[in-house]
Chain A
Amino acid sequence: MSLPVMVLRVVVGVVLTGAVLHASETAAGVPTTREQAQEVFTKQVKPFLETYCSNCHGEKKSKGEFTYRYAIKYAGSPAFRQLWNHAAASVKAADMPPEKEDKQPTAAERKMFSDWIAGMKHLSPKDPGQFVIRRLSKIEYGNTLRDLFGVDPRAAAILPDEVFGAGYSNSLSPLLMEQYLLVANSVLDQVFAKAGQPPTAVEQRIITARPGNGVDERAAAQRIANDLARRAFRRPVSTAELDVLLSAFDLGKKHGRDFRESVRLVVKAVLVSPQFIFITPVSGDEPKSGVVALDDHQLASRLSYFLWATMPDAELMALADQGRLRDPTVLAAQTRRLLSDTRSRALFDGFGAQWLGIDKLAGKTFDPEKFPEMTPALRQSMYDEARLLFDSIVREDRSVRTFVEADYTFADAKLGALFYGMKIDGEGMQRVKLTNANRGGILTMPGVLATTSFPNRTSPVNRGVWVLEHVLGEHVPPAPANVPALEKQDQSKVATLTLRQRTELHRTDPVCNNCHKILDPIGFGLENFDAIGRWRERDESGGAVDASGELPGKQRFSTPQELKKIIAARLDDLCHNLTGRMLAYALCRQLEGYDEIVVDGLVTNIAKDGHRMQNLVVAVVTSYPFMHRRIGDLPGAGNEKK
């Protein structure tokens, strides 16, 4: 979605200003404990709202579709986080209450209000978040079939595409169930040779026992069922579960099937069982509510699906069987082992690509007349460049700073010629050292630059927003509805202006300028890159590109290289953003109140040892919400009123 070029809400601008200007300062008035946050809320925030806001946004009215009447009842509830942020921004910017109102808060009152919101996370009680058994995603399901049966993971290709990580829907429909059965049928056809044909290698591996030598058919089937189900369910199998699988064998025999055909039915039963489709706890009665530690096998699955998008391997399973995986040293070592394995590529495909937004590149529309180069093959290479950079930072355990300031990249002949002015020999993607410091890192990577462009031109505003949101983790809400875009300008007056000059016209309006003074300089700093990421000296108008700018705090730059340096200096923000996003991905849910406190703690630790990438992942894996789960609703979070 493209943001209108001219504007972002004024109030947003002020929040951004605050963040960029004061990122390193600690505001004295931000509550740091639960008690403090609660006290300020009761004694100051509530009276503030009643005095200044209640006429328009209180119990009776919701002017501009905005009311705090629900939020005030559950102030700490994550559901209202965005509302409070919005309110804080408006009040801080002196946008609210409106000028025409007689009653206006003092500067100190405004500060108290926005400080309280900054510290509101402390209202949240310690909580790992509600846990609900999770269905394997399409990718995970395909990979798991590969590991179990040696089939191509594309066996799962008929399942609908879905988003993984924080936005995962985790629901099952009749359509999906039907597709699971279809996939199971096709897997069975690959695993079991047709009658009269010699058995396949996989079949031989699955059939771990045969009747004969005093072993009857049923005993052999039981052994087979147990061995397979243990792996497929990723945990020990209960007697009751084994009985169900054995009754599938009996069903086959009753229908006159031979041993092999009946075993095939057992495998089919495994494939359509909820224990295979969902990651379920080791059997035993679950408590009805409360916080419990993840059992070893669940932890093994969570870790393995997080980093590899597939089932735990033998080593992880053995550690889980021995009950050793919860030991933090063992868990950290296993995390590093999984990251070093090539299967951790899944972390980029599932997480990294979403984080950078580069997962959109393949389907993005570009004007074919203007950019005939954007073939599927080139897009794939651009994607691979980002993937390989991400992988190198993970596997080589580099500082997360490398994401912004890498002095190397990966390119094939096409990328080398088009973007880097290099002749690259050999097949496929190669690691190359960069001598031009304007390149390197995600800010100036062609795939990213192309992702934030319009089909026919660059969007400095989109690029500015991308850097703020994806790199520094700030929140930039979409533009309001009634704002004119660049194209509305009087064409006769702007025809000879560069895009930068045209965009800057809005800067003469102090209201717009308030926020665009952050966004635009970043975007303009990247104007030397065209809509698909090629270097250029002149933009579409023919005018020379002016990539200089100044960010609040008198931070001047004149080239992309210098801009990168300013952004890289905000390493803690980058690290905080990346850690938070990764935790959300690992948990398959959005982060809520207490998670923010967790992330703060993790980032402090990660910073102590050079912001190294593997430490970051280990921190996520050994965190409280990753290793625990809450069953049932959290008391006092606004859920109990139903």
Chain B
Amino acid sequence: MKKNNWLIDRRTCLKGLGAALALPLLESMGWAETPAKGATAWKPPVRLGFMYMPHGVIMDRFWPKDAESFRSAALPPIIASLAPVLDRCLMVKGINGVPIAPFNGGPHALELSTWLTATLPDADRRASIHIGISADQIAANYVGGMTALPSLELATMPQTHKENQEGLNENYYSHCSYRSPTQPVPAEVNPGAVFRRLFQGRDQGPAKNSDAQTLSTDAALDRSLLDLVLGGAKDLRGRLGRADQQKIDEYLDGVRALERRIASIERRQRDGDQAGDARRRDGDSPLIEVAIPDGDVKGRSPEASQFVRRSGDGETEIKRSEYMQVMCDLTVLAFQADITRVSTYIGSTPNGASYPELGFSDQHHSQTHYGTDQVKIDKVAKINTLNVEQFAYMVSKMANLKEGTGTLLDNSIMMWGSGLENGDKHERKNLPFVIAGKGGGTLNTGRFITDTTGNQGDLLGTLLTAAGIPLDRPIGIGTKVLTGMLNG
């Protein structure tokens, strides 16, 4: 029996991750709402964001030639859009993905499911979900209690499966966040729903939404009611078998999260702080305005990747980049208003999004087995470029928002990446990714580290460490912190 107790104890902070790191990092853990005694200034919290694209990249159009050329004007085309924020970006070559034996295939189910877990699904129980808690959820367990939402999960493709690879549960194909080893976390695909969730129970957000559904009009009463139901659920749990108890545990976890949500609504109702202004300081930029398209993802198929906007005069398909940008905006807004500090955004699942605005309707995956076919290589490179452009759009926006003595981006760690090195051969030895943001000063940015030796678990552990999340064990296959990425 595996024992998985994922609650992280502050006192076991950084055990096994190198004691030398612990001291400077503690300074960055200044999330408390009031400055600690003797502290010189309030320090904004660190936000952690992940954005995913499947199928790898065209390597020679993604990686800079060397450390020098990273800072030069001639960036490789796929990452050219990052030029305005390059001094706050960090690229690292040499991160290995998770080796997939004993699986003999299933590259796409595994690329997504191992991306934030750095853990291989349990091969003996592959038909159901048995993997590891993902890095974003580890972070959410630690910092989630301080915000209205512990974490935010977004996607711009429905998480319905496409195919069963290697007998693996289909949900591995469309989920990267796992709240526990058996519990995939679903993502929201509709911007309107996300917006309503962010501003639940508030009279005014940055953009008013008339039909916002209300979680609770009488928060105190609802919390008492949930307490009663929770008690009943515990009785039920006691009568069930072990596997059933796990299901009830998911339920209990959900109800407790709901109670926290309602408590935060209650607090805000009491304090009269409707827009979350109390979390921001004089001099901080005002909350950004986000135009939310009303509508839905077109069709219900696993490949549906276009958003159809409904308006008075009918339905129009908006550009895929526009759809992706709204989700980026919502991430920025959620971070800026401190509604959550952890966000995961699946730009597309491996099912094969299409990008008609690029001038071709082929699905992403159909082009990735390109061999030496230049036409396909060009198409994949264009898709890669478009995806990084959305990430660049998001982090550039964050770089323009003042917060504390710096910007929102300075106080964030944003990672864009893929779970395969290249989609043609399904290699995973050198995963492509970009980090943006200074992590409140912990990340040594503006550099391209050309030759690290490490794996996906090391990378995730390092990012969480930089965000000040104390880890009492490595993440997945990780063994060490990549100190080269950090300051001091």
Contact = CB atoms under 8 A, between A and B. Distances in A.
B229 A244 contact: yes
Interface stretch (B38-46, B62-70, B219-227, B328-336): B219-227
Contact of A175 (B182, B188, B255, B351): B188
Contact of B183 (A173, A589, A631): A173
B105 interface: yes
B160 A171 contact: no
Contacts of B84: none
Contacts of B306: 363, 365
A456 B257 CA distance: 47
Interface string B161-185: 1111111011100010001001111
Interface in B268-315: 297-306
Interface string A26-47: 0000000000000000000000
Nearest to A252: B221
A159 B291 CA distance: 22
B373 to A, nearest CB: 5
Nearest to A183: B213
B49 interface: no
Contacts of A132: 243-244, 246-247
Contacts of A86: 104
Interface string B86-119: 0000000000000011111100000000000000
Interface string A186-204: 1000000000000000000
A222 B123 CA distance: 49
Contact of B170 (A167, A287, A363): A167
Contact of B258 (A133, A181, A289, A481): A181
Interface residues of A, number: 102
Contact of A485 (B150, B215, B239, B373): B373
A67 B301 contact: no
- Residue of B158, B240, B375 contacting most chain A CB atoms (<10 Å): B240
Contacts of A268: 225
Interface stretch (B21-29, B358-366, B403-411): B358-366
A273 B233 contact: yes
B232 interface: yes
The size bracket of the interface on B is 35 or more
- Residue of B186, B300, B365 contacting most chain A CB atoms (<10 Å): B186
Nearest to B185: A173
Contacts of B225: 248, 251, 265, 268-269, 272
Interface in A162-218: 162-163, 166-167, 169-178, 181-182, 185-186
A54 to B, nearest CB: 15
A1 B361 contact: no
A108 interface: no
A502 interface: no
Nearest to B235: A240
B231 interface: yes
A639 B236 CA distance: 26
A154 to B, nearest CB: 12
A95 interface: no
Given A272-B229, A273-B232, A161 B247 contact: no
A485 B186 CA distance: 35
Nearest to A4: B369
A185 B166 CA distance: 42
A69 interface: yes
A541 interface: no
B233 A65 contact: no
A548 B167 CA distance: 36
B239 A70 contact: no
B1 interface: yes
A359 interface: yes
A360 B160 CA distance: 11
A596 to B, nearest CB: 13
A135 interface: yes
Interface string A319-360: 000000000000000000000000000000000000000011
A430 interface: no
B233 A1 contact: no
Interface stretch (B7-15, B124-132, B432-440): B124-132
Nearest to B200: A178
B425 interface: yes
Interface in B183-234: 183-189, 193, 197, 213-216, 221-222, 224-226, 228-229, 231-233
A153 interface: no
B488 interface: no
Contact of B197 (A74, A178, A274): A178
B185 A255 contact: no
A367 interface: yes
A631 B124 CA distance: 18
Given A132-B243, A133-B240, A162-B160, A362 B298 contact: yes
A639 B167 contact: no
Interface string A50-87: 00000000000010111101110010011101110010
Interface string A96-111: 0000000000000000
Nearest to B427: A481
A485 to B, nearest CB: 7
A130 B128 CA distance: 11
Given A167-B161, A177-B257, A244-B229, A363 B215 contact: no
B254 interface: yes
B161 A362 contact: no
B242 interface: yes
Contacts of B83: none
Contact of A631 (B179, B213, B241, B254): B241
A586 to B, nearest CB: 16
B214 A185 contact: yes
B60 interface: no
Nearest to A62: B101
Given A2-B363, A160-B186, A278-B247, A174 B150 contact: yes
Interface of A: 1-2, 4, 62, 64-67, 69-71, 74, 77-79, 81-83, 86, 130-133, 135, 158, 160-163, 166-167, 169-178, 181-182, 185-186, 240-241, 244, 247-248, 251-252, 255, 265, 268-269, 272-275, 277-278, 280-281, 283-289, 359-367, 454-456, 477-479, 481-485, 487-488, 589-590, 592, 631-632, 638-639, 641-642
9 contacts: A2-B366, A67-B101, A173-B186, A177-B254, A272-B229, A278-B251, A366-B361, A481-B426, A632-B243
Given A77-B124, A175-B188, A273-B232, 10 more contacts: A69-B102, A79-B167, A244-B231, A244-B235, A283-B236, A283-B239, A286-B241, A481-B426, A483-B371, A488-B373
